Amino acid sequence: MVRKTIWAVALLLSGLITAPAFGAAVLQCVPYARIVSGVDIHGDALNWWDQADGRFKRGHKPKKGAVLAFRANGPMALGHVAVVSRVLDGRRVLIRHANWSVPGSIEEDVLAIDVSDEGDWSQVRVWHSPTGQMGARTNPTYGFIYPAKAGLHDFTPDPALGASVRFTRMDADRWKGEAAGTASRAAPARILTARADDPAPASRKRVPHLRTDPAILSFADNAPAQRSLSAIIADVKRETMLN
């Protein structure tokens, strides 16, 4: 049993399997994006673009409250959806999304950059909170789905959507005045922790005590592994013996 557990964890860390393997045990991107954006679409994220046809306007220009729909790609087999919280310029936006850098995590006001040749947001890179820098992976997208009424809705953690929720929030004002080319690395995002059944914060201006959650560093799957699989397995075995 221990050997199987070690192998499964090693596969996760090496990027051969991804966060969605945990299934409904963690918060998924779809219900989070639906609540925050008000775009009432259900089903896997990779189907949102087609489902929006005839129901919502679609396009390739970022707008606040719009849903950025990602194509299925590599470990992102079911696609992904994120909500634009602020447009910084034609190539940079801040987004809010769930289940990206860490299984079940919520990341608020983190950076996404358009790296497409045509400037149409068909290829993007996304902030990776555990390492405090832009993710190395280039992600193909369909474009933006615009809600009938633009805006952002508060998200209250619900145990039915995932047993544990971690919050990561960037200071949205930190990006003001920065050139697009200087955004590849910056100070790490503030990492917050909360359980799904915790009451919602009284105000978005109030932030819980900040502390680093080791699970975020252990299970982040958006950055490519820089170490060999054998080295990862050795570390997992060592940790298992210590525990």
Domains recognised in the chain with CATH numbers: 19-220 (3.90.1720.10)
pLDDT digits (tens, 9 = 90+) for 44-55: 999 999 999 999
Q: How many CB atoms lie within 10 A of CB 122?
A: 17
Calculate the CA 28 to chain-centre distance.
10
Please state whether the predicted TM-score (pTM) of the whole model is above 0.85: no
The answer to whether 153 and 36 are in contact (CB under 8 A) is yes
Structure tokens of 184?
């590849």
The answer to whether 196 and 163 are in contact (CB under 8 A) is yes
Kindly list the distances between the CA atom of residue 185 and the CA atoms of 11, 131, 141, in Å, as whole numbers in the listed order: 27, 9, 23
pLDDT digits (tens, 9 = 90+) for 82-140: 999 999 999 999 999 999 998 888 999 999 999 999 999 999 999 998 888 999 999 99
Check residues 38 and 22 and name the one with the higher pLDDT. Answer: 38
Kindly list the distances between the CA atom of residue 164 and the CA atoms of 25, 27, 127, 146, 190, in Å, as whole numbers in the listed order: 8, 8, 21, 29, 18
**CA dihedral in degrees (241, 15, 115, 142; nearest 10)?**
-130
The answer to whether 123 and 139 are in contact (CB under 8 A) is yes
First-to-last C-alpha distance (Å) of the chain: 15
